[in-house]
């Protein structure tokens, strides 16, 4: 058990812990941190891009729970050297994402620090939450979009090279409309923040299943983090309905495995501890 797992375990007497968000009645509560030098370097992004991505990675957790995000609480640590122009750029990024997803920013906290650190709580509503723990044996496993570019772009940034401002690493693309419409056919879901292999380990643990892979997945695909694509499972009888919805929303589906009895563990390390 790594230090992250050990620490989270100290709170695991709460039945709400263990998914992308906590389902309490018809509400989902989720929070994610977006910290300077952990999630971004200041020179890689504009302030507007930082605030926007901080919101999007949080909204992603609500979407994969099949919840509609409604409210956000923003906790922001800001260097005291920032000018009012910079503060405006930052607030513009938060507001852009909030407007796009019809979210109201209802509060938060602001402190001064030597770096820019953002934590966001999202409050969402759902009638039918989709959990990580509800994948069933024989379900098909699928991820949306293309994986790998975020890892490549992160390596470029670390090497001092520039990347396109359209890169998913700068501006993740969420598949909300596809997912909400398909949700009645989906048995489990989570977003790909730490890389496909690591997320598969999470579903394996939560749903008590293993995987039979249809083809080998290259390391560069399976270990690309911060993709914010959706990893989900479904009973194969729903395949054509899901494919039709994906086509309508121009979402690429990669069906790559079947759930079997067993357990999946990845050798690749996640970046946390």
Ligand X SMILES: Nc1ncnc2c1ncn2[C@@H]1O[C@H](COP(=O)(O)OP(=O)(O)OP(=O)(O)O)[C@@H](O)[C@H]1O
Which residue ranges make up the site for ligand TPS (CB under 6 A)? Answer: 32, 37-41, 154, 193-194, 225-226, 271
Give kind and range of the element (H or E) at residue 8: helix 3-9
Is 61 a binding residue for ligand X by CB under 6 A? The answer is yes
Tokens of residue 83, six digits = 């000018």
Element (H, E) at 59: helix 47-64
Choose among Mg ion, ligand TPS, ligand X, none what residue 17 binds, the Cβ cut-off being 5 to 8 Å by kind: ligand X
Q: Is 61 annotated as a binding residue?
A: yes
Provide the minimum distance between the beta carbon of 96 and Mg ion in the complex, in angstroms, as a whole number.
22
Binding status of residue 38 toward ligand X by CB under 6 A:
no
The enclosing H or E element of 203 equals: helix 196-207
Q: Which of 19, 36, 117, 229 binds ligand X (CB under 6 A)?
A: 19
Q: Is 224 annotated as a binding residue?
A: no
Q: According to the binding rule CB under 6 A, does residue 229 interact with ligand X? A: no
Helix (H) or strand (E) holding 196: helix 196-207
In the complex with ligand X, the residue whose CB is nearer, 27 or 241, is: 27
139 binds ligand X (CB under 6 A): no
d(CA 201, CA 266): 6
Question: 23-58 burial, b for 16+ CB within 10 Å, e for fewer?
Answer: beeebbbbbbebebeebbeeebbbbbbbbbbbbbbb
Piece of 17-25, 97-105, 171-179, 212-220 that binds ligand X (CB under 6 A): 17-25
Which of residues 202 and 258 has its CB atom nearest to ligand TPS in the complex? Answer: 202
What H or E segment, with its residue span, contains residue 177?
A: helix 176-182
What is the Cα–Cα distance from 23 to 29, expressed in whole angstroms? 7
Instruction: Tell which one of 2, 6, 9, 17 touches ligand X (CB under 6 A).
Output: 17
Q: Exactly one of 126, 144, 193, 201 binds ligand X (CB under 6 A); which one?
A: 193
Say whether 117 counts as a known binding-site residue: no
Nearer to ligand X, 153 or 194 (CB): 194
Q: Is 19 annotated as a binding residue?
A: no
Q: 120 and 31 in contact (C-beta within 8 Å)? A: yes
Q: Is 138 annotated as a binding residue?
A: no
Query: Known binder of ligand: residue 39?
Result: yes
207 is in an annotated binding site: no
Burial of residue 242 (number of CB atoms within 10 Å: 0-12, 13-18, 19+): buried
The Cβ of residue 144 has, within 10 Å, a number of other Cβ atoms equal to 24
**What is the contact surface with ligand X in residues (CB under 6 A)?**
8, 11, 17-20, 32, 61, 193-194
Binding residues for ATP, by number, are: 108-109, 132, 193
Binding residues, by number, are: 20, 30, 32, 39, 61, 108-109, 132, 191, 193-194, 226
């Amino acid at each position: 058990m790594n230090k992250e797992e050990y620490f989270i375990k100290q709170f695991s007497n709460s039945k709400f812990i263990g998914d992308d968000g906590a389902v309490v009645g018809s509400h989902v509560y989720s929070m994610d941190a977006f910290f300077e030098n952990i999630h971004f370097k200041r020179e890689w992004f504009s302030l507007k891009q930082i605030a926007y991505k901080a919101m999007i990675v949080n909204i992603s957790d609500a979407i994969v729970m099949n919840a509609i995000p409604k409210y956000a609480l923003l906790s922001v640590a800001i260097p005291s050297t920032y000018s009012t122009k910079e503060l405006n750029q930052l607030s513009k990024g938060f507001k852009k994402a909030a407007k796009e997803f019809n979210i109201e920013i209802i509060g938060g906290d602001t402190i001064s620090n030597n770096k820019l650190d953002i934590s966001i709580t999202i409050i969402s509503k759902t009638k039918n939450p989709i959990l990580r723990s509800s994948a069933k044996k024989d379900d098909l496993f699928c991820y949306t979009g293309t994986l790998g570019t975020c890892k490549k772009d992160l390596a470029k940034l670390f090497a001092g090279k520039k990347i396109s401002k359209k890169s998913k690493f700068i501006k993740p693309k969420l598949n909300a409309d596809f997912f909400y419409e398909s949700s009645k056919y989906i048995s489990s879901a989570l977003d790909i923040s730490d890389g496909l292999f690591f997320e598969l380990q999470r579903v394996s643990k939560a749903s008590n299943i293993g995987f039979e892979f249809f083809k080998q997945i290259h390391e560069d695909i399976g270990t690309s983090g911060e993709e914010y694509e959706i990893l989900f499972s479904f009973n194969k009888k729903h395949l054509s309905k899901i494919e039709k919805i994906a086509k309508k929303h121009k979402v690429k589906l990669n069906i790559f495995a079947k759930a079997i009895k067993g357990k999946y563990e990845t050798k690749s390390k996640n970046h946390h501890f």
